Chain A
Amino acid sequence: MSATRAALPPKHRPADTGDRPVDRRLGSTLLRHLAVVLAVGLLLVAVSYAVEPFRNFQLATVAAYLCATAGLTVLTGLNGQLSLGHGALMATGAYTVALCQNAFADRGMTGGWLLPLSLGAAIVSTVAVGAVVGVAAARLRGPYLAGVTLAVAIVVPALAVTFDGVFNGEQGLSVPVEPPPLSLGPYFPYERWQLWLTGAATLLALLLLANLIRSRYGRSFRAVRDDEVAARLAGIHVARTQVLAFVVSAATAGLGGALLAVLAQSVSPGAFSLTLSLFLLMAVVIGGLGRLTGALWGAVLLVALPDLTHSVTELLTLSPAVAQRLEGNLPLAIFGLTLIVVMIAAPGGVQGLLSRLGRGLLARWSARRS
């Protein structure tokens, strides 16, 4: 029995998770996904020229978080495994990138190909950690799974403090990142370059995830989520499927963490606390479990909310003491409230609601035409 069943939309409406027969769609899935990625990529480039540096930086941060939320939504929404430890997997990726970049810098190596190499190393190391956790997770259900992943979320940041010789404790490590290539011109804004970098990596990850979801593996993920016995009868190796889901999800989380470290040019355990792990889960639930577009809403929420609450507290003329109390805690409170409201009003999350509205409008419009 999956822990996330309750969070999924009831079965009387067709969910938009690819459960629908394929004949409704046109052409090959791969081509369609490629076209979408290309369009979004072009849009991102256009946007990066249109908005100011800080917005570029925020969008880049959204992209980095999107990697992690997309992986988490595949694991939790499609495969039914709850993970409270994705923040720790992000930390694994982040620290790997920091150690690699520092090692390259110490050896005086420079070049544009080093960063992709470090990002690759981050994915590999996170896959290794994810595989270990995944093997344990495949044997556990419900609250026990939540417990194990919770332990991971607490242990990994603590390791950074315990082995401070390598990880430099709470101060963390700096991540040397090279400036944009000179071929883009000497005054190319650094934040635009950051958006290009993270955007490209994230789109690539999303393309692979989207293809995976629509493939045989995606179908076995869902089969295992819905009914393990039936899946076994259909010849699906349940444990293997679960480990695979965990590893895929870990890889994207590691990439997300690595991108965050590159953006901030530093990495510290404080960035990957238990709160982040919980925030990630809340974000994918509010966005809409099991949908990549839902993961996008979740990532936007993660970046926008602290910023928004800060503006709100600035607008209100509060006494300094009250403002201080609200400052760190208001985002948490709003997140919690949003989660409750969304669960009551739209169990399918933001994306579920949007697609329902879209379908309603479409039905009305076609009814008027006939």
Chain B
Amino acid sequence: MHRMAQRGLAIASTIALLVTAAGCSGDDGSGPGGASVPGVTDTEVTVGTHMPLTGPASAGYSKIAPATKAYFDYVNANGGVHGRKITYKIMDDGYNPANTQQVVRQLVLQDKVFAILNGLGTPTHTGVLDFLKSNRVPDLFVASGSRSWDQPDKYPGTFGFNPDYTVEGKILANYAKANLAGQKVCFLGQDDDFGRDSLAGVEKVLGAGAVAVKQTYVTSNTNVAPQIGAFKAAGCQVVVLATVPGFTALSIGTAARLGFKPQWLVSNVGADHPTLAKQLGAAAPLLEGMVGTNYLPMQNETANPWIQLFTKINKEHNGDAPFDGNTVYGMSVGYLFVQTLLAAGKDLTREKVIEAVQKGGFQGPGLVPLRFSAKDHSGYGGQRLSKVSGGVQSYFGPAYETDEADGAVNEYTATPAAPPANGVPTVS
């Protein structure tokens, strides 16, 4: 190589590094304004989120935030909320709590977002609760069913969205008790609050000693053969899965390889049929008979007005991406956030948004009620069971609601609301 070229390359790479260093230590000059609300101007409100766009939990989940953004784009195209367009900053944390720390700090301190919306993951979001609290950032509609979000005294700005995992565990166990009585029930859960809360719910209904074998998995280890092997050896007939989609698929695939065919009862966060079918590829028929739960309209109910609305928005603003349960979920989150902004009024502040959520009374796509109040920061309060038959996932039976304590599992009979004519909520 020529001396000149060598030197040129070296200088170029050094300059590149120096520029990064300068960029790192430079001042953006955007000091905090006077009494202005972070992330809010007369024409714009900026919110951010952390999502696993890569990594072990990205299967399926990576489509949630783009769907939420698509719904916001639709609302923006229809004039926004109180004249403000919604800007949604999506950060990838790879489902790694360490990265979540970094990206959430970037959103709050550098991008100065108004709120964090729908941050995904139990282990990831748990680590930023204190940071968001000490910076007084509204932490809305966390994408996880951990009970940690429902602590109004400790975390006044944090609100859940998903039905909590204990409620879900109770509903799944209730199904097992009624329809699979006398069969040996086993449990596989993620090794964090997600799995623990879910197991607590299952044991509340079935009794403390009723779960024959309890196994856990970690997302960094994609081998669940030991756990599934233990189930097979113990002769489990029913396996409850508190798993993210990738590990639902992995468990069902591994079981098939071992010649083990129990009745699967799967958490709503890991039971979306299109996502699982895509993961399993040619082995998708293994999903036949799987019982799952959900609380939003099923993605294949083409007669449902919500699904029609979301399909239309998906075509117009999301590049017609494959439509699945994650799309429905993401857009439902977007709808709820727009309702919240509307309820908070034209003069938008962080306090007003939190008040608006606590006031509750939101009617949306959900099949069960949202429980928000000053005393309750958990999200949806129940679920409905679904089953895969003939390669199609569909609801059966009534919707159920229950609490996270020892309350009974009751049927919930109210009819869901219909969407507004143009798909944008109006002040209720």
**A164, A170, A190, A270: which contacts B99 (Cβ < 8 A)?**
A270
Tell yes or no: B53 within 8 A of A by CB.
Answer: yes
Q: Give the residue name and chain of the B residue nearest to A324 (CB).
A: B53
Tell yes or no: B24 within 8 A of A by CB.
Answer: yes
**B9, B31, B94, B131: which contacts A341 (Cβ < 8 A)?**
B9
User: Do A270 and B54 touch across chains, with their CB atoms under 8 A apart?
Assistant: no
Tell yes or no: B44 within 8 A of A by CB.
Answer: no
**A51, A61, A268: which contacts B123 (Cβ < 8 A)?**
A268
If over half of A's interface residues share one DSSP class (helix, strand or loop), that class is named, otherwise mixed; here it is helix
Tell yes or no: A215 within 8 A of B by CB.
Answer: no
Tell yes or no: B106 within 8 A of A by CB.
Answer: yes
Tell yes or no: A71 within 8 A of B by CB.
Answer: no
Q: Give the residue name and chain of the A residue nearest to B32 (CB).
A: A52
User: Do A346 and B123 touch across chains, with their CB atoms under 8 A apart?
Assistant: no
Kindly state the separation between the CA atoms of A172 and B221 in the bound complex, as whole angstroms.
16
Kindly state the separation between the CA atoms of A182 and B263 in the bound complex, as whole angstroms.
59
User: Do A328 and B54 touch across chains, with their CB atoms under 8 A apart?
Assistant: yes
Tell yes or no: A29 within 8 A of B by CB.
Answer: no
User: Do A297 and B319 touch across chains, with their CB atoms under 8 A apart?
Assistant: no
Q: How many A-B residue pairs have CB under 8 A?
A: 155
Kindly state the separation between the CA atoms of A190 and B135 in the bound complex, as whole angstroms.
10
Chain A residue total in the interface (Cβ 8 A):
57
Q: Interface 1/0s, chain A 41-64, versus B by CB < 8 A?
A: 000000100111111011101100
User: Do B24 and A270 touch across chains, with their CB atoms under 8 A apart?
Assistant: no
Kindly state the separation between the CA atoms of A266 and B62 in the bound complex, as whole angstroms.
25
User: Do B109 and A354 touch across chains, with their CB atoms under 8 A apart?
Assistant: no
Q: Give the residue name and chain of the A residue nearest to B95 (CB).
A: A270
Tell yes or no: A108 within 8 A of B by CB.
Answer: no
Q: Which residues of A contact B319 (CB under 8 A)?
A: 319-320
**A47, A61, A297: which contacts B25 (Cβ < 8 A)?**
A47
Q: Which residues of A contact B6 (CB under 8 A)?
A: 344-345
Tell yes or no: A35 within 8 A of B by CB.
Answer: no
If over half of B's interface residues share one DSSP class (helix, strand or loop), that class is named, otherwise mixed; here it is helix
User: Do B191 and A271 touch across chains, with their CB atoms under 8 A apart?
Assistant: no
Tell yes or no: B178 within 8 A of A by CB.
Answer: no
Q: Interface 1/0s, chain B 126-147, versus A by CB < 8 A?
A: 1100110010000000000000
> Shortest distance in angstroms between B244's beta carbon and chain A's nearest beta carbon?
12
Q: Interface 1/0s, chain A 179-213, versus B by CB < 8 A?
A: 00000000000110000000000000000000000
User: Do B54 and A300 touch across chains, with their CB atoms under 8 A apart?
Assistant: no
Kindly state the separation between the CA atoms of A265 and B11 in the bound complex, as whole angstroms.
39
Tell yes or no: A293 within 8 A of B by CB.
Answer: no
Tell yes or no: A301 within 8 A of B by CB.
Answer: yes
**B54, B130, B216: which contacts A324 (Cβ < 8 A)?**
B54
Q: Give the residue name and chain of the A residue nearest to B31 (CB).
A: A52
Given contacts A50-B27, A266-B127, contact A171 B21 (CB under 8 A): no
Q: Give the residue name and chain of the A residue nearest to B110 (CB).
A: A54
Kindly state the separation between the CA atoms of A161 and B216 in the bound complex, as whole angstroms.
11
Kindly state the separation between the CA atoms of A61 and B101 in the bound complex, as whole angstroms.
12
Q: Which residues of B contact A264 (CB under 8 A)?
A: 98, 101-102, 127
**B24, B58, B127: which contacts A268 (Cβ < 8 A)?**
B127
Q: Give the residue name and chain of the B residue nearest to A296 (CB).
A: B21
Q: Interface 1/0s, chain A 337-370, versus B by CB < 8 A?
A: 0100110111000100110010000000000000
Tell yes or no: B66 within 8 A of A by CB.
Answer: yes
Kindly state the separation between the CA atoms of A70 and B220 in the bound complex, as whole angstroms.
29
Tell yes or no: A226 within 8 A of B by CB.
Answer: no
**B17, B28, B31, B192: which contacts A170 (Cβ < 8 A)?**
B192
Tell yes or no: A38 within 8 A of B by CB.
Answer: no
User: Do A171 and B13 touch across chains, with their CB atoms under 8 A apart?
Assistant: no
User: Do A58 and B10 touch across chains, with their CB atoms under 8 A apart?
Assistant: no
Kindly state the separation between the CA atoms of A308 and B6 in the bound complex, as whole angstroms.
25
User: Do A353 and B14 touch across chains, with their CB atoms under 8 A apart?
Assistant: yes
Tell yes or no: A174 within 8 A of B by CB.
Answer: yes
**B7, B25, B53, B122: which contacts A55 (Cβ < 8 A)?**
B25
Q: Which residues of A contact B355 (CB under 8 A)?
A: none
Kindly state the separation between the CA atoms of A310 and B191 in the bound complex, as whole angstroms.
30
Q: Which residues of B contact A342 (CB under 8 A)?
A: 10, 13
Among B25-39, those with CB < 8 Å from A are 25-28, 30-31
Tell yes or no: A128 within 8 A of B by CB.
Answer: no
User: Do A52 and B101 touch across chains, with their CB atoms under 8 A apart?
Assistant: no
Tell yes or no: B105 within 8 A of A by CB.
Answer: yes
Q: Interface 1/0s, chain B 170-183, versus A by CB < 8 A?
A: 00000000000000
Q: Interface 1/0s, chain A 302-329, versus B by CB < 8 A?
A: 0111111010000000011000100111
Given contacts A171-B193, A307-B106, contact A268 B98 (CB under 8 A): yes
Kindly state the separation between the CA atoms of A265 and B26 in the bound complex, as whole angstroms.
25
Tell yes or no: A147 within 8 A of B by CB.
Answer: no
Tell yes or no: A120 within 8 A of B by CB.
Answer: no
10 smallest CB-CB distances across A and B, nearest first, come from A271-B98, A328-B54, A54-B109, A345-B10, A270-B96, A54-B110, A171-B123, A345-B9, A171-B192, A346-B10
Interface residues of B (CB under 8 A from A): 1, 6-7, 9-11, 13-14, 16-17, 20-21, 23-28, 30-31, 53-55, 58, 62, 66, 91-92, 94, 96-99, 101-102, 105-106, 109-110, 122-123, 126-127, 130-131, 134, 191-193, 216, 218-221, 319, 321
30 contacts between A and B (CB under 8 A): A51-B27, A53-B109, A54-B110, A55-B28, A57-B105, A57-B109, A58-B24, A61-B102, A168-B192, A169-B192, A170-B218, A171-B123, A172-B123, A174-B126, A190-B134, A191-B109, A264-B127, A268-B127, A269-B220, A300-B17, A301-B17, A307-B106, A319-B319, A328-B94, A338-B17, A341-B9, A342-B13, A346-B14, A350-B13, A353-B10
